[in-house]
Chains A and B, each alone.
Chain A
């Protein structure tokens, strides 16, 4: 599903965010990216949906090298990728339903599909009954669930999560992780960057560790260490 071949990305001559990284992620896998702050986790995730482009190497996503993909194809690539962030990135003046529906509207899904799929995914993330709330009327955990729902509503092949539990207390974070695990079990590949030791250690999934842009460990059923 995802393959990196000798990927290098630098922001300037001094800052090399990712250096000669290679790995494979199979369909349906769950991968943690760990490493200290500034080690290149976010940069790596951004290269997977073409928010960033490496200057060397190839990034294969769903069978295509996306490094040289023409810009006109990028939207179609992104429709297969869901994104979750530490700060949720919800639209503050839209309610829960509208926030999720937005992801379908802007790619031209017909209204009857939206009316059917949005409630279903809100049910899945445990927000049924809170459709009309605005983001500021929700707890952090609930807001993150909205963002998971928005990322998942178009049934992406891949889910990219950048520290999705970073702003949540441990119990709430675990709730989000159970949700991601369920989504993963539907066949969606999940790549998640995190600092959260407890979560990595309890989930026992594959762990790729970065240090100053270099992959220093790639371990199946790994721990944070």
Chain B
């Protein structure tokens, strides 16, 4: 067992050395494409922060003063309930809920976030309109809410998110498309590298087959090699993502307050999830590239 392990490692590392240029090309391509995937995910998440309060089809939010009384809340609640012609459903987001939201929205402006407490935060009624209800209609209906006591303001998703979500989908889609093509290129490069490695060692493989090495024994070093290309690419991409994200975060912190960028950072540990995803995709790409090469070209 131990000697097998040593054999496999030695062969894999040997192959890395012999095939250095192609190996490097595979790893770099894998790293760049994975970084692309990672940045897409990360920026989508940052945009999601910005849109956090509008999740779940919410189109209208009635903000309540922190000082609003229970009676005032009930009044708004009743008004929303009776508007069931236009409002499919609504939910009250109390102080705790609103503070949690603020964690995401003001992630890049810890100074602003620190000013918010249970006594100063605006609570929210979030309303999802019925199907087919036009936002303009909703605006007219909302006039009656705006005048109720305790109401701070009424906002509409349309005003706030259309630009943002356009940006989000524009960047998200194109970046992802680019990354997927690069990832495809990475798989092809890994495939080609492994094929070359197999070709370079066809004499060894011939001898191995003759003396009765099993197909798996022959295959594993090559598959491991491809897997390592993918994983190393993933590690490099993770390092790149980390550097990118921390520079961006500190950059955003130095932006003027209320510049609108404050939510466009990721500080909740999602970056680690993205790194994990990149490693997994990298490993998969390596396994696919080398797996195909090993099963197709070992019959020599």
Give residues in A with beta carbon < 8 Å to B. 49, 51, 71-72, 74-81, 83, 89, 91-92, 102-103, 105-111, 114, 150, 154
Contacts and interface: CB of A to CB of B under 8 A. Distances in A.
Contact of A108 (B3, B203, B204): B3
Contacts of B207: 89, 91, 102-103, 150
The CB with the most chain A CB atoms within 10 A, among B7, B211, B214, B217, is that of B211
Contacts of B7: 105-106
Report the contact-size class of chain B (Cβ under 8 Å from the partner).
10 to 19
A101 to B, nearest CB: 10
A78 B218 CA distance: 15
Interface string B190-213: 000000000000011011111111
Contact of B210 (A71, A72, A78, A114): A78
A51 B7 CA distance: 25
A158 to B, nearest CB: 12
B206 A78 contact: no
Interface in B206-231: 206-215, 217-218
Contacts of A72: 214
8 contacts: A75-B209, A103-B207, A106-B208, A106-B218, A108-B4, A110-B3, A150-B211, A154-B212
B210 A83 contact: yes
Nearest to B4: A108
A153 B23 CA distance: 36
Contact of A91 (B4, B204, B213): B204
Nearest to B205: A106
Nearest to A89: B207
B115 interface: no
Given A72-B214, A80-B212, 11 more contacts: A77-B212, A79-B212, A83-B211, A91-B203, A102-B207, A103-B211, A105-B7, A107-B211, A108-B3, A108-B4, A111-B2
Contact of B211 (A71, A106, A111): A106
A105 B3 contact: yes
Contacts of A109: 3
B95 to A, nearest CB: 66
B183 to A, nearest CB: 33
Nearest to A160: B210
Contacts of B214: 72, 75
Given A91-B203, A91-B204, A105-B7, A154 B2 contact: no
Nearest to B211: A103
A114 B211 CA distance: 15
Contacts of B4: 108
A107 B209 CA distance: 10
Nearest to B204: A91
Nearest to A151: B211
A114 B200 CA distance: 26
A83 B211 CA distance: 8
B125 to A, nearest CB: 67
Nearest to A108: B4
B212 A75 contact: yes
Nearest to B3: A111
